[in-house]
A and B are shown apart, each in its own frame.
Chain A
Amino acid sequence: MSGYNFAYLDEQTKRMIRRAILKAVAIPGYQVPFGSREMPLSYGWGTGGLQVTASVIGPDDVLKVIDQGADDTTNAVSIRRFFARTTGVATTRRTDEATLIQTRHRIPETPLREGQIIVFQVPIPEPLRWLEPREAETRKMHALEEYGIMHVRLYEDITLHGRVATSYDYPVRVNGRYVMRPSPIPKFDNPKLDRSPALLLFGAGREKRIYAVPPYTPVRSLDFEDHPFTIETWEQACGLCGSRESFLDEIIVDDKGGRLFVCSDTDHCERRRDRTR
């Protein structure tokens, strides 16, 4: 695209963001403040992920963009097009072909491998935010490893509801140190974070924070011995490919309570169907 640098951001800005990423990789789970730029997309629509992707993408990368696990949701289309226009790199819908994946709200079902980078779009990076609105306070709490308040909250859930009533953006502890928000992925995806062979990068544009989980880093979802962490399960299988292992979206098909459950990961679903064809 003429008039703009490769991947839109100028090289100075990319360098600043890469420095923040390096720091984030060196301190897994720690939120690094960075000079987030105004992007040509709205705040809250993936500007953090966009800046991280723009800073690490190279001409040989193969990019996949998903939103809700799907390649063809409007915002995924819009972001993929943005990078296709500003970089000219190859794009793909296949998880195994991609070297770089930008995602909102899901981790693909196909296991990630070494050398891949997955970039998460983060709305609110601070795991303690709903418990303490002040940034000056929460930074102190992280510094002092003062996470009791989070355990109390989970405990209160159990006393009130018999279980932890958090279903997405479920808090994790990274490398035994920082409590981190995995971004609003369903807790179903949390186990995929643990010792992932891929590099996980998290970008929060509006909140101006970057954090990371380097490959093979232990990531533990917070729980209690007598109330171990569990993930969502469905009685149904995917109505299109029959998968019983993937995260299912629910679709209302009529006004009489008819429901269809289908894989949220469209690539996973299509490839399973291809195989049986």
Chain B
Amino acid sequence: MYVAVKGGERAIEEAHRLLAEARRGDPSVAEISLAQIEQQLALAVDRVMTEGSIYDRELAALAIKQARGDLLEAIFLLRAYRTTLPRFAASEPIDTASMVIRRRVSAIFKDLPGGQILGPTFDYTHRLLDFDLGDGNGDRPADDVTEQGEISSEPMPRVVDLLDREGLIETEEAPDDSTPVDDLTREPLRFPASRGMRLQNLARGDEGFLLALGYSTQRGYGRNHPFAGEIRLGEVEVEVAPAELGFAITVATIEVTECQMVNQFKGSATAPPQFTRGYGLAFGEAERKAMVMALVDRALRSRELGEEPQSPAQDEEFVLYHSDNVEASGFVQHLKLPHYVDFQSELVLVRNLRAERGVSPHS
């Protein structure tokens, strides 16, 4: 006999208890601290901050711990917290030209003012598992640590600004201060989206999704001949100019990765041949994310630049509506919710259709 599905409340409570237990794992293994996550899983923290769109290493570490290392779940936790916070000001644009540089590479000039700074990168590591890094051995000092002082203190102008001086690259006009800053988390996305909205969407967008899209542009689906004009990583100041003060004050120092892609453009009826830009920016060390964001940003500019949009990466609605992993993950996983009623309607329909075709129930 059918017993009505009761006790949902109790089942949920038990599920939460089991989850807490699973999160902790074997209690004989030491509990991980937030400081450990912040310091030793720093790139996970950076990703969660970027896609969670809140710069707070400690909260991101907490989210990662609570989510058992599931970064999408951690991003969701951070977003749901962020939405409850008041918004009291829009910052001044950050000035990445005056960044305190940790890494800076350009793929288009062998040398340039300020030089190339490799910084902390996986790039030229050989991907050999380092068995010496096992438990208890992580504290050995790295070989040949160079003095930080070797980094030049001379200013490091951005490569695109150097090209700009020659008129070889399109100029980008900053919107004047009277234009309010769009906020994707407060207003619905509309099409065509402003560049600001689009960049916010891409910055929050899922790294894996954007990686695949950016990659597709390189393989011919919306090709636009990218060069990594410059990638820079370092600290910048965040300034806010309160109306009652009338001048800007520094409220925070944050680490960001910026990527400026330089893309070929043969010119159009109204524009001379020149290079165009794609822009990527992410919190912390997030070079892959910044690069693919720049590729996709450029691909999405196709209409504005008079290129025929033909590929997924150039399709604004397709990209911007599907980039958000919190939305995507929720909607995909909602399939786990009961659908008894819709399914029953479909059963009735399919049985009727089969009966009308004279199909017997067991054929």
Contacts and interface: CB of A to CB of B under 8 A. Distances in A.
Interface of A: 4, 8, 10, 33-40, 42-45, 47, 67-70, 72-78, 81, 104-106, 123, 133-136, 161-163, 165, 167-169, 184-188, 206, 208-209, 232, 234, 239-240, 247-251, 253, 260, 262, 264, 266
A33 B79 CA distance: 21
Contacts of B82: 38
A158 to B, nearest CB: 12
Contacts of A77: 8-9, 12
Contact of A135 (B80, B191, B331, B340): B191
B345 A43 contact: no
A186 B330 contact: no
Interface in B182-198: 185-192
Contact of B345 (A8, A186, A206): A186
A45 to B, nearest CB: 5
Interface string B1-33: 110111111011000000000000000000000
Given A42-B333, A105-B339, 18 more contacts: A34-B188, A35-B187, A35-B188, A38-B79, A67-B338, A74-B8, A78-B12, A81-B12, A161-B353, A167-B348, A184-B342, A186-B341, A208-B189, A249-B341, A251-B2, A253-B1, A260-B2, A264-B341
Contacts of B192: 136
Contact of A43 (B4, B190, B327): B327
A59 B8 CA distance: 25
Interface string B155-191: 0000000000000000000000000000001111111
Given A36-B188, A74-B11, A168-B346, A44 B341 contact: no
Contact of B334 (A76, A123, A136, A208): A123
A45 B334 CA distance: 6
Contacts of A253: 1-2
B341 A168 contact: yes
Contact of B356 (A70, A162, A169): A162
Contacts of B352: 163
Contacts of B190: 33
Given A34-B188, A136-B317, A75 B345 contact: no
Interface of B: 1-2, 4-9, 11-12, 76, 79-80, 82-84, 86, 185-192, 317, 321, 326-327, 329-334, 337-342, 344-349, 352-353, 356
A266 B185 CA distance: 38
Contact of B341 (A33, A68, A260, A262): A68
Contacts, number: 149
**Chain A: interface secondary structure?**
loop
Contacts of A47: 330
Nearest to B3: A251
A167 B342 contact: yes
A167 B317 contact: no
- 9 cross-chain pairs, A with B, having the tightest CB-CB distances, nearest first: A43-B330, A44-B334, A167-B345, A42-B330, A44-B331, A208-B188, A77-B8, A33-B188, A38-B83
Contacts of B347: 250
Nearest to B192: A136
